Structure 1
Amino acid sequence: MLAVPLDGDVARAVNWRARLTHRLARHLRTSPVTLAPATPLVSFTFDDVPVCAATEGARMLVDYGGRGTFYISGSLIGTQARHWRVASEEHILALHEAGHEIGSHTYSHVFLPNLDSKGIVAESQRNGSCLRAIVPGLTLESFAFPYGFGSLPAKRTLAAIYRTSRGIVPGLNVGRADLQLLQANPLMDGRVDAAGIARMMDEALAKNGWLVFYGHDVVENPSPYGCSPALLEAALRAASDRGIPCVSVAEGLRRSLRRPAA
């Protein structure tokens, strides 16, 4: 297992082999597609799902007519992490009932480059069973790599389980893409401001692209991995002012997927 806290800076702890396999995973597509949404789109995603994301963050999305994707690790439900308390079963059910998407983040929040295919399948199955015990009949379409690190074997294994896997490589999803490493941009006060968000929204508008954001907590004085309500508000307002629909990852894929890449 990776010897870093759940919400720590994993980049400082990984060895060169993990860095290399992640770099290969970034550049070699295993699930190539052409993404061509008819209109620009934006998706807001939250990893680990702190209580404040499941409550304040989810409420803000709904207030703007949007829905988000919340990537959950079953073993963390209701626990206390370093910077936040993780959402409870009741919070998860409320998210689903409000129309938000529940996604998978492995059961144990495990570092995937350390797992073989059998281990990844086992983690996915266990997490699915856990989440379906909370939301009966839940369909899990979307996955996010814990710590943002993937590998080519992991991507190939995940492709048989989920429609998409989201990483933390920044960019706009449009044209040639890899469904098992969707690009996503940090929604974190220390890494982006309202002006930067506006520029990304303008690019999505100009290119008819699908913009994905990721974060964790939504609270005043957030952790280094989260955002303040003011920053989320700025992002939601920027999308609304430009007429960009705010959709879950599963819905974003449905609106973006046109044909296999050549």
Structure 2
Amino acid sequence: MDEFRALHLPGSPLLLPNAWEFGVGAFLAAQGFRALGTTSLGVSAATGEPDGAPSTREATVALANRLAKLDVLVSVDVADGFSGDPAAVADLAEELADAGAVGVNLEDGLAAVEHQTALIKAVKDRVPDLFLNARTDTHWAGDHSIRDAENRAKAYADAGADGIFVPGLAAPSDVRKIVDIGLPLNLLFLPGKVTFAGLAELGVARVSLGSLPYRMALQAAAGTATAVRDGRDLPLSPPSYADVVALLP
């Protein structure tokens, strides 16, 4: 975890692209990215299950095992832990650490703060070296105040979280308030609302792409098929077949 933690530099943030299958992860690693995250939406959609559903636990662990074979640091999006039982969430964290993951992203879904801090403490007690990125959905799944985000972030920090993730947060003054809590702040890249350089200037330590690469891949696949159908030029220049084969074990 030390190497992964060292990549979280306020003002010089880690850009964390998110993969949903091995080939994408291998291709991103080949572009020089030292660390990768996974995306619960991508993993869920790839298996035909609802986003973050408990039924995607097995696929999430399997992906972590595959990505850990690459020369990259892997942080796994475990949604809400796929369980409300602290012991079960700690079991999952331990299983992912054993697979080679260096971090997990655990979201609160606006659950009671006491419940979420219990999950965080259970994970950190079981796997203290795993980088736990505590996500609060105050600005993603709800319309809550920055004070609510601050209170949750402080509670998660006190419970042992290693980083704080507030997807949807963008207003500079609000970002600075969470930065001031003292843990590495992770924000989601929001096209048209923020820039990577702008987030760096605010002291953000990690910028995640979330499901954006997966959604862009959907558009690229559809754009390719419709371009062939309609006689237009292909929208992108893809890697060759041989290039992709070379990425595989």
Q: TM-score range by the shorter chain?
A: 0.3 to 0.5
Which structure shows the higher helix fraction? 2
Identify the structure with bigger relative contact order (alpha carbons < 8 Å, sequence gap 6+): 1
TM-score, length-scaled by structure 1: 0.42
